[in-house]
Amino acid sequence: MNNSQKDWFTDWFNTKYYHILYKNRDDSDAQLFMRNITDFLKLPLTTHILDLPCGKGRHAVFLNKLGYKVTGGDLSKNSIQSAKKFENDSLHFKVHDMRKPFRQNYDAIFNLFTSFGYFDDDKEDVLILDNIKQGLNKDGYFVFDFMNVLKVKNNLVEKEVKEIDGISFNIQREIVDGFIQKHISFNADNEDHSYTERVKYLESEKLISYFKEVGFSIEHIFGDYDLSSFTNNSNRLILVAK
Ligand SMILES: C[S@@+](CC[C@H](N)C(=O)[O-])C[C@H]1O[C@@H](n2cnc3c(N)ncnc32)[C@H](O)[C@@H]1O
């Protein structure tokens, strides 16, 4: 992919409207997940965790509160600027494109809340996993939290209007050409806006084959933030690899 072209994820995630639309996402679930997974993996407090991509840092800040040294990276300059207000001696944020290799290694890398599958070419998805594999210290864990596409397909809400902060977001969803697409249109600040989120329809078998391609071994598969087992009806698909 030509990195200079404007990709949907560069644009949309960098807007204030993305954060307004998703402001109601459940942070208590995210915190419960971070507590559960760090306990389950018995991650010592000396672990340096990379949260990639971190958005405005909701997981990174909480992991740091739990006592970990945390670095958050994200492509969105606006999100990193906002996250930087939480920085301290053991919490840092930087702009980073996950298609690029890292300058240093980490003890654990977390990719959370469907932050994968944005690219047309499968090679780019594999490249991201390869960068993560190369960026892990020996025996380091990779925690990957994706949607369960089977559940999304079976429960697809094709049309919906969400009223948030005085904005009417018109949302249309479809599965087309191997992507789950969410078309979002609204009027805000006296302008019409429209964006399309495009995330690859990736079933567990395909994801696991990507992981194996870069040399990861899958240690655990969970279906939700409470670390319940994965089934076709699970809310999430969570892979833990080494
Ligand atoms: C669905 S959000 C999740 C963010 C965060 N993990 C959370 O739970 O709030 C996906 C994030 O991926 C970031 N992103 C998209 N493409 C990226 C890339 N190539 N490199 C790094 N970050 C990227 C976006 O800026 C956005 O913050």
Gap between the Cα atoms of 46 and 51, Å rounded: 16
The token pair that represents 15 in the structure block: 């807007």
Atom 24 of ligand 1, nearest CA residue: 13
Phi and psi at 86, nearest 5°, equal: -90, -5
Q: How much distance in Å is there from the Cα of 76 to the middle of ligand 1?
A: 7
Q: What does each C-alpha distance from 70 to 92, 93, 192 come to in angstroms? A: 7, 9, 38
Q: How much distance in Å is there from the Cα of 120 to the middle of ligand 1?
A: 16
Q: Please give the pLDDT value at position 26.
A: 76
> For the chain, what percentages of helix, strand and coil (3-state, to nearest 5) are there?
30, 35, 35
Instruction: Tell me the CATH number for domain 8-147+203-241.
Output: 3.40.50.150
Scan for tokens 């999304």, then name that residue: 152
Q: How much distance in Å is there from the Cα of 54 to the middle of ligand 1?
A: 6
Scan for tokens 């419960």, then name that residue: 32
What pLDDT tens digit does each residue of the chain (242 aa) get? 333 346 888 899 999 999 999 998 878 888 999 999 999 999 999 999 999 999 999 999 999 999 999 999 999 999 999 999 999 999 999 999 999 999 899 999 999 999 999 999 999 999 999 999 999 999 999 999 999 999 999 999 999 999 999 999 999 999 999 999 999 999 999 999 999 999 999 999 999 999 999 999 999 999 999 999 999 999 999 999 99
**Phi/psi-derived region of residue 97, left when phi > 0, alpha when psi is between -120 and 50, beta in every other case:** beta
Query: Within its chain, how far is the Cα of 207 from the centroid?
Result: 14
The token pair that represents 240 in the structure block: 């833990």
Q: Is 98 in the pocket of ligand 1 (CB under 6 A)?
A: yes
Gap between the Cα atoms of 110 and 121, Å rounded: 22
The token pair that represents 78 in the structure block: 């606006």
Gap between the Cα atoms of 47 and 56, Å rounded: 21
Q: Is 118 in the pocket of ligand 1 (CB under 6 A)?
A: yes
Q: Please give the pLDDT value at position 2.
A: 36
Q: Please give the pLDDT value at position 1.
A: 36
Listed residue (97, 71, 93) closest to 81, CA to CA: 93
Angle at 102 between CA 145 and CA 129, to 5 degrees: 40
88 within 8 A of 67, measured Cβ to Cβ: no
Gap between the Cα atoms of 174 and 66, Å rounded: 39
The token pair that represents 222 in the structure block: 């969970």
Atom of ligand 1 lying closest to residue 7 CA: 16
Gap between the Cα atoms of 219 and 141, Å rounded: 9
Q: Please give the pLDDT value at position 76.
A: 95
Q: Please give the pLDDT value at position 25.
A: 83
Gap between the Cα atoms of 161 and 163, Å rounded: 7
In DSSP terms, which residues pair with 115 in a beta bridge? none
47 within 8 A of 34, measured Cβ to Cβ: no
Q: How much distance in Å is there from the Cα of 176 to the middle of ligand 1?
A: 22
The full set of domain ranges for the chain reads: 8-147+203-241, 152-197
The token pair that represents 132 in the structure block: 């993560």
Q: Is 117 in the pocket of ligand 1 (CB under 6 A)?
A: no
